[in-house]
Chain A
Amino acid sequence: MSEKPPVLEDTIVAQATPPGRGGIGVVRLSGNKVQDICQAITGSLPVPRFAAISDFRDGDRSVIDRGLVIYFPKPASFTGEHVLELHGHGGPVVMRLLLDRCVRLGARIAAPGEFTQRAFLNDKIDLSQAEAIADLIDSASKAAAKSAVRSMQGEFSNQIEKLTEKVTLLRMYVEAAIDFPEEEIDFLGDKKVQGMLKSILSEFDEVTEKATQGALLREGVSLVLAGRPNAGKSSLMNSLTGKEVSIVTDIAGTTRDIVDNYIHLDGLPLRLIDTAGLRSGSDVIEVEGVKRAHGEIRNADHVILIVDCFAYRGELAAAAEALRGEVPGEMPVTVVVNKIDLNPDWQRELDGVPEGWVPVSAKTGEGIGCLREHLKQALGFIAVEEGTFIARTRHLDALARARISVETGGRHLVEAGAGELLAEELKLCQQALGEITGIVTSDDLLGRIFSSFCIGK
């Protein structure tokens, strides 16, 4: 007889609406600390299942936002645990503050699909949905992984890596001193360790400051426009954004670099990315452009493959097939058949192709409405589950915890000479950083010790 899997009852929090600017933003919590957190943020616990209006307050009593609070006591809630929803005004800064506040009150950012998983484990969703939940967890965690990669792009990633390396190095000294006291490598008394602690702390501050400049981090589901030269990618970009953001000419190979722009589809924020037409050119600039296009494709949430139904008339399917081959297999795509204004036979051509291909004319605007509808369907789910914003929040939360550990550890060393407590805090620090960069196991650390010091009586 199988056992019934128990549910962790700690409190999880996440943003429950598509992240983005404007509109309503909902923060949802589930778990055993919900009542306390509600008290702390709104000052009271509202009548169950009734929307109440309240200020949302930060730790220093300042008002973060004002909005609706709804409290669902267990077991009559979505997850079967106490659930709280805070409906705020949704701007990224406000959402961040609200999430931060919840984390400081003891919640942790939910893992992808975790709300639904809890609902299932708490008998709120029946057996017939088990497969769907598995799919959700699977796709949500892939989306989360992708968001995490995006949060980590550029300078942030380099700095985190440098920081992680420094912490690992320091741990190596501290752990070596503890596990090998007879090896003449006792660094704990050294000024060296204290110096390292200091420099790590200031580096934490630097990274955190840069990463908190949230404005730099653009939000939204990323949607890449890809296709052969002259297929009409830039034209479609302009048509979807309603602006002349991308240069359109009849010269094949017009777009060289990445061009991006933000739009909203009924509140769903999208980052549209126009790319160079995919072909094997010889021009150095173009080759670089194609390389960048492939990079964007890899990191995308969704790719629109644009096929020119005039240039490829009669061989539409083959053209789309070839294009599909240049995109990673697991990447969700939408095939857009462009220039239907030029090909009077386009409907006949579409007869044999798979369902879901969207015919448009970027020039006349025909079919663009359908395309928008289609994209909303296809992308809505990704946006709800996990965005770069949540990923960055998770990262900042981890950074903050990591920093506190270094500080506390340093204090133990200075005040009480307690090397083992420094070691403990550094371990916690590294665990927190590991949530961003991947785990450093005790075996990894021992490996570093053995290759750096000659250990062994």
Chain B
Amino acid sequence: MAMMVSATNFDVIVVGGGHAGTEAALASARSGSKTLLVTQNIETLGQMSCNPAIGGIGKSHLVKEIDALGGVMALAADHSGIHFRVLNARKGPAVRATRAQADRQLYRAYIRHALENQQNLKLFQQSVDDLIIGDGRVTGVVTDTGLRFTAPAVVLTVGTFLGGIIHVGMDKQPGGRAGDPPSNRLADRLRELPFSVDRLKTGTPPRIDGNTVDFSELEEQPGDEQRPVMSYMASRDDHPRQVPCFITHTNEETHELIHSGLDRSPLYTGEIAGVGPRYCPSIEDKIVRFADKSSHQIFIEPEGLNTTELYPNGISTSLPFDVQQAFVRTIKGFENTHITRPGYAIEYDFFEPRDLKNSLETRHLPGLFFAGQINGTTGYEEAGAQGLIAGINAARLAKGEEAWSPRRNEAYMGVLVDDLITMGTREPYRMFTSRAEYRLILRQDNADRRLTEQGRELGLIDEQRWRYFCEKEEAIQRQAGVLSKTYVHPGDAAVETLLGQALNRDHSLLGLLKRPGVTVNELMNAAKLDSLREEVAEQIEIDCKYEGYIVRQQEEIDRVMAQQEMAIPDSIEYGTISGLSNEVCQKLESVRPATIGQAGRVAGVTHAAISLLLVYLKKQYLMESQGKQGTSRPLKLGR
């Protein structure tokens, strides 16, 4: 072999340089493990396969959690974002979200820069074709040219590339996404291993040339004036030049044309077997399933600052190219439009996520971790979150440390992982805030307060971020103290004017802050105190307004936590537990939950079944400890 690679032994190898792979590699390297990122093509590191946007409802929550654990996605979005908006601005902080349109090139460049400058991390361009397996564990990877790299932990993040097939009308071609080859050898190899594999489908709209669009016809959608930032460490000054988006609509003529092409649609002729996402249907699906809607909204998003290409969000399609061209031209503003890249659908392999542990290590092959689209999810943010968790745990495994994964009440990442490994998925899984039962606690504004301390213990947080976090937290505590100790008295004109009513007795400022519509800084000003920093004021205000709910949710969490966290040993045989019905046994057997809490979330597992499980575990405990005294509990990472 002519090629020389300086080192072939690593602690962690990450395969795939998409959103999952880059976060995995960075997290692993940050926590001190010697890490190798192998990817098909270094030029496509951080490539956004579909729409050029980061964030959105439920998703920006994930991005900020990644950020709170030292990840790169939020910073990349801030340095490449060309249009920022806060969604649900008027609906209360818990469900507020941030969305950024990104310049694809700037985004990629930022990611690549971060990777190239990360200590302990090496990049390598080649396709991985095989895994090295020894002693029932994964011990490394083999590339398409036969190079071997070894590591005790391997993270697979190969996205939509496994057995990828791209459909445009009745034409189908192998591909990992437009312009990239699929990973078929690796796919075949993985199908030989004891994983349970199935197919999913997703799609993307045609791109259009902005020079051929009549913008005078279109409704402009500017970014927010009060521009939000993604990262706790970024400021508005990091944002590049900002541009607007536009809105247009389909019409009945569009729908007719689409209808006429259905006989050549791979979705409707049965060519595509994989299941697509219900919340992200193709335009042909929308028209068939919601036949009474005569028009659908399309958001026109810029692909970047230095390109005229546009992304028409809302018309994802796999219709034949001639139909695409015809129907696009019926849309207002698009009458003379030129398509630069056809829309397409892609089918790909994914693995049953219920076969994963909450560390994202596969149960069938120790040392091998899966993250991103191959676990049945969709979206950059979902991929990034999983990559981070897999990267952390791959590094921990290599160091012989216990696995770590946030709980459902700590992070959307916890909800994501727990949903996947407990319920599995039948369609590409995307995050929504309604999936989180502790939605009022899991907010995008407090991801740092929920996670950064743990991130620090995990070795993911650098000095600068840590210092910044500590200062902010300290300011919140101090100022909340001031507010609770500062009293205003009846007759205080400034305060009474602010409240619009007279005070009947003394009130603390914190008490008054509970009233609807009152803001911290208005109160501070009325009480002649200095205004607070934006992010400090925000936390005090939200904590105060949600206090009742947060206390209640926290009580609920505390009440059940001890039992929920009770570990179920790997060796458990459900068939031997008396009283458990066959049906419940099977369900538990297929998920093999790690804790009592997770077992309780498996569909069809009853309260009585959990009681029986607890009695069984107690029985095991008694049997094992008979004669032995004082068992020591393994130390858990501080929470």
- Residues in chain A within 8 A of chain B (CB atoms): 1-10, 111-114, 117, 120-121, 126-127, 130-131, 133-135, 137-138, 141, 175, 177-184, 188, 415-421, 423-424, 427, 441-443, 445-447, 450-451, 454-457
- B443: nearest chain-A partner, CB-CB: A420
- A127: nearest chain-B partner, CB-CB: B622
Q: In the complex the two chains form, is A10's CB within 8 Å of B90's CB?
A: no
Question: Would A8 and B559 be within 8 Å (CB), given that A181-B87, A421-B92 are in contact?
Answer: yes
Q: In the complex the two chains form, is A456's CB within 8 Å of B423's CB?
A: no
Question: In the complex, what's the smallest C-beta–C-beta distance from A397 to chain B, in angstroms?
Answer: 16
**Complexed CA–CA distance, A7 and B610 (Å):** 12
Question: Would A182 and B622 be within 8 Å (CB), given that A5-B566, A5-B614, A141-B606 are in contact?
Answer: no
- B58-89 at interface with A (beta carbon < 8 Å): 58, 87-88
- B568-601 at interface with A (beta carbon < 8 Å): 569, 577-579, 596
For B437, B615, B623, the residue with the greatest tally of chain A CB atoms inside 10 Å of its CB is B615
For B277, B549, B633, the residue with the greatest tally of chain A CB atoms inside 10 Å of its CB is B549
User: When A and B form their complex, which 3 residue pairs have the shortest distance between CB atoms, in order from nearest?
Assistant: A141-B608, A138-B579, A420-B92
Q: In the complex the two chains form, is A420's CB within 8 Å of B615's CB?
A: no
Q: In the complex the two chains form, is B91's CB within 8 Å of A179's CB?
A: no
Q: In the complex the two chains form, is A111's CB within 8 Å of B617's CB?
A: no
Q: Is B281 an interface residue (CB 8 A)?
A: yes
**Complexed CA–CA distance, A443 and B423 (Å):** 10
Q: In the complex the two chains form, is B618's CB within 8 Å of A120's CB?
A: yes
For chain B, give the interface size range.
35 or more
**Complexed CA–CA distance, A136 and B286 (Å):** 53
Question: Would A450 and B615 be within 8 Å (CB), given that A2-B621, A181-B57, A419-B92 are in contact?
Answer: no
- B93: nearest chain-A partner, CB-CB: A420
Question: In the complex, what's the smallest C-beta–C-beta distance from B421 to chain A, in angstroms?
Answer: 15
Residues of A within 8 A of B619 (CB): 127, 130
Residue from A1, A117, A127, A182 in contact with B614 in the complex, judged by beta carbons closer than 8 Å: A117
Q: In the complex the two chains form, is B612's CB within 8 Å of A134's CB?
A: yes
Question: In the complex, what's the smallest C-beta–C-beta distance from A205 to chain B, in angstroms?
Answer: 25
Q: Is B440 an interface residue (CB 8 A)?
A: yes
Q: In the complex the two chains form, is B57's CB within 8 Å of A179's CB?
A: yes
Residues of B within 8 A of A420 (CB): 91-95, 439-440
**Complexed CA–CA distance, A114 and B293 (Å):** 53
Q: In the complex the two chains form, is B631's CB within 8 Å of A178's CB?
A: no
For B563, B603, B606, B626, the residue with the greatest tally of chain A CB atoms inside 10 Å of its CB is B563
Residues of A within 8 A of B297 (CB): 182-184, 457
Residues of B within 8 A of A188 (CB): 91
**Complexed CA–CA distance, A447 and B437 (Å):** 17
Q: In the complex the two chains form, is B618's CB within 8 Å of A450's CB?
A: no
**Complexed CA–CA distance, A9 and B555 (Å):** 12
Residues of A within 8 A of B626 (CB): 127
Q: In the complex the two chains form, is B87's CB within 8 Å of A182's CB?
A: yes
- A130: nearest chain-B partner, CB-CB: B619
- B262-296 at interface with A (beta carbon < 8 Å): 277-281, 286, 289-290, 293, 296
Question: In the complex, what's the smallest C-beta–C-beta distance from B418 to chain A, in angstroms?
Answer: 12
**Complexed CA–CA distance, A307 and B313 (Å):** 74
Residues of A within 8 A of B94 (CB): 420
Q: In the complex the two chains form, is A137's CB within 8 Å of B617's CB?
A: no
Q: In the complex the two chains form, is A120's CB within 8 Å of B566's CB?
A: no
- A427: nearest chain-B partner, CB-CB: B437
Question: In the complex, what's the smallest C-beta–C-beta distance from B175 to chain A, in angstroms?
Answer: 23
Question: In the complex, what's the smallest C-beta–C-beta distance from A140 to chain B, in angstroms?
Answer: 8
Residue from B516, B560, B579 in contact with A137 in the complex, judged by beta carbons closer than 8 Å: B579
